[in-house]
């Protein structure tokens, strides 16, 4: 029985798949099953698509970019030809290898990262069939499929499990395998442990961008042995965060922005992927509808420390505050909101798909903002409190402006 051929997707097919992903109607797991593509690959395609979408409206840049690339490649090829030449590269490489080895040893000599010597040419020089590089016995292939399915089943039942827990569960289920192999397959499948009690797992910290300190200590005070929060006015502090929502077909992500004084939710979004656009979209929406706050607080997740999100905050002159390391209590206002919506909406309803979840959240958000009494604001309604304060601020600012004329 021959090896199953790996499917290659054309640019048109990739575009169609990404557009399906952007509809936000299916989870990554469902899309992965539908198209036979890993969740990680889907996320990479989406990132590439969003990064270069503007070129559709400026084709001259595409032509210019290709011309520059062709010129660059030509210079590289000319330089290589002058110093070595293709024949010299192949000869020097082949001379350095021992030809009197068995097939397995020769297979180990093939290097996948050689730019100017493809694997097909290496195989020819070593006198081995290229298909031998990818050969796996039917027994091994069958075991890998069983293993992948088993990991997926365990993860759906226990999304809080990391690779060590899944490794031990597999051992208990009679599958003998190393921890590193479990980690390898989980990475290929785009799986990582979900720890609601630790924010580091809902927004992964990035070392690429500058971290910011926590600027909101002035709003905290001690009452006996209890530390309490008091923000006197609306639009002084906003905060944002992301939480997971488990479905029968994987996970979706819910991001929101809350005003700390009124507890009003100013913007929110449900998505099948957790990336920078998830948080920048809701921030842009909130800023388009309401005045900019003095502070915006978040965790140190890569979405919130990304260039796009930071620049948007700076554009509006908003001071950037971020939780202390391992201190989710620093963002307690939105943490409490997530707990509220999960217990009052998500956990008590049997939503079947993303569409139903979105509709359920939309219905609840209207109820939360406009109809539900909130104990921390003296049993008033969050959006009523927020809008009243904002209108008063505008009125006072207008009076001050006229007095200064």
Residues of the chain with pLDDT under 70: 1-6, 55, 58-71, 77-108, 112, 130-143, 156, 158-160, 190, 194-210, 225, 326, 328, 394-405
- Could you read off the pLDDT of 173-223 as tens digits, one per residue? 888 888 888 888 888 776 777 654 444 344 555 555 667 888 998 998 877
> How do 250-259 and 237-247 pair as beta strands?
antiparallel
What's the pLDDT at 28? 85
What's the pLDDT at 196? 45
Beta bridge partners of 222: 227
What's the pLDDT at 45? 86
What's the pLDDT at 388? 92
Dihedrals phi, psi of 235, to nearest 5 degrees: 70, 15
CA distance linking residue 137 with residue 123, whole number of Å: 20
Pick from 266, 287, 291: which is nearest to 390 by CA?
A: 291
214 contacts 369 by C-beta, under 8 angstroms: no
What's the pLDDT at 258? 97
389 contacts 262 by C-beta, under 8 angstroms: yes
What's the pLDDT at 176? 80
The enclosing H or E element of 223 equals strand 220-223
Pick from 250, 359, 355, 357: which is nearest to 31 by CA?
A: 250
What's the pLDDT at 83? 62
What's the pLDDT at 65? 61
CA distance linking residue 10 with residue 12, whole number of Å: 5
202 contacts 242 by C-beta, under 8 angstroms: yes
N-to-C CA span, the chain: 87
Within 10 Å of residue 129's Cβ, how many Cβ atoms?
10
């Amino acid at each position: 029985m021959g090896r199953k051929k790996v499917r290659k997707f054309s640019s048109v097919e990739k575009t169609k798949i990404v557009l399906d992903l952007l509809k936000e109607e299916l989870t990554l797991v469902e899309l992965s099953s539908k198209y036979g593509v890993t969740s990680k690959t889907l996320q990479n395609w989406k990132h590439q698509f969003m990064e270069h979408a503007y070129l559709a409206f400026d084709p001259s840049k595409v032509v210019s970019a290709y011309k520059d690339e062709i010129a660059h490649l030509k210079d590289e090829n000319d330089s290589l030809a002058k110093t070595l030449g293709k024949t010299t590269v192949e000869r020097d490489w082949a001379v350095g290898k021992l030809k009197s080895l068995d097939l397995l040893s020769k297979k180990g000599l093939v290097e996948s990262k050689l730019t100017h010597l493809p694997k097909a040419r290496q195989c020819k020089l070593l006198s081995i069939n290229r298909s031998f590089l990818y050969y796996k016995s039917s027994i091994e292939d069958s075991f890998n499929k069983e293993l992948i399915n088993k990991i997926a089943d365990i993860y759906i039942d226990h999304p809080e499990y990391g690779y060590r827990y899944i490794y031990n569960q597999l051992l208990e289920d009679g599958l003998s395998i190393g921890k590193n192999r479990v980690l390898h397959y989980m990475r290929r499948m785009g799986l990582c442990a979900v720890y609601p009690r630790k924010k580091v797992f809902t927004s992964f910290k990035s070392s690429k961008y500058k971290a910011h300190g926590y600027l909101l200590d002035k709003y905290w005070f001690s009452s006996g042995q209890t530390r309490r929060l008091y923000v006197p006015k609306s639009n002084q502090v906003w905060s944002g965060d992301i939480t997971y929502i488990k479905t029968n077909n994987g996970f979706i992500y819910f991001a929101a922005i809350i005003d700390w004084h009124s507890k009003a939710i100013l913007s929110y979004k449900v998505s099948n992927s957790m990336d920078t656009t998830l948080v920048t979209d809701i921030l842009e929406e909130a800023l388009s509808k309401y005045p900019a706050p003095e502070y915006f607080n978040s965790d140190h997740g890569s979405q919130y420390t990304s260039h796009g999100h930071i620049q948007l905050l700076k554009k509006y002159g908003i001071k950037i505050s971020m939780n202390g390391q391992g201190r989710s209590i620093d963002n307690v206002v939105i943490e409490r909101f997530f707990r509220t919506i999960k217990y009052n909406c998500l956990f008590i309803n049997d939503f079947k798909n993303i569409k139903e979840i979105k509709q359920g959240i939309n219905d609840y958000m209207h109820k939360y903002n406009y109809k539900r009494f909130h104990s921390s604001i003296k049993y008033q309604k969050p959006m009523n409190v927020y809008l009243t304060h904002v209108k008063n601020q505008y009125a006072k600012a207008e009076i001050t402006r006229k007095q200064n004329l």
